[in-house]
């Protein structure tokens, strides 16, 4: 969890640029309220669910953002990074379809 959407995007970009061979991370980013679990060791709730569904949609080495997160960071992306619209996708157990954006570098 990050205090700012831009910090989450910067971290995702750093992870994409790090050589983790043979691991290829799939990252999903969504912005909203997150609650600590009862045992305070992880976050839970609809925001976390949407981020995980975006991650499930991603391919190895890909970072996908929800529309709300893309809108929040579009004007403050790290140098040599940009967003590409990937169309709307139905995320498992969530409605309506989510406009998805890919973080590129």
Say if residues 70 and 26 touch (Cβ distance below 8 Å): no
Confidence of residue 6 (pLDDT cuts 50, 70, 90): very high
| Residues 64, 50, 6: CA angle, nearest 5 degrees | 50
**For the whole model, what pTM was predicted?**
0.92
Residues 6+ positions from 62 with CB-CB distance below 8 Å = 26, 27, 102
| Residues 66, 36, 18: CA angle, nearest 5 degrees | 50
Angstrom distance (rounded) from CA 100 to CA 87: 6
Averaged pLDDT of the chain: 94
pLDDT digits (tens, 9 = 90+) for 19-29: 999 999 999 99
pLDDT digits (tens, 9 = 90+) for 31-60: 999 888 888 888 999 999 999 999 999 999
Q: Is 13 exposed, middle or buried (0-12, 13-18, 19+ CB in 10 A)?
A: buried
CA distances from 79 to 21, 42, 83 (A): 24, 31, 12
């Amino acid at each position: 969890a990050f205090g700012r959407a831009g910090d989450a995007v910067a971290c995702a970009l750093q992870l994409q640029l790090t050589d983790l061979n043979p691991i290829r991370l799939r990252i999903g980013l969504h912005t909203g309220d997150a609650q600590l679990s009862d045992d305070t060791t992880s976050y839970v709730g609809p925001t976390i669910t949407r981020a995980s569904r975006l991650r499930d949609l991603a391919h190895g080495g890909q970072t996908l953002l929800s529309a709300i997160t893309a809108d929040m960071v579009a004007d403050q992306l790290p140098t040599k990074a940009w967003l590409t619209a990937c169309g709307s996708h139905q995320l498992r157990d969530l409605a309506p379809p989510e406009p998805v954006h890919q973080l590129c570098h």
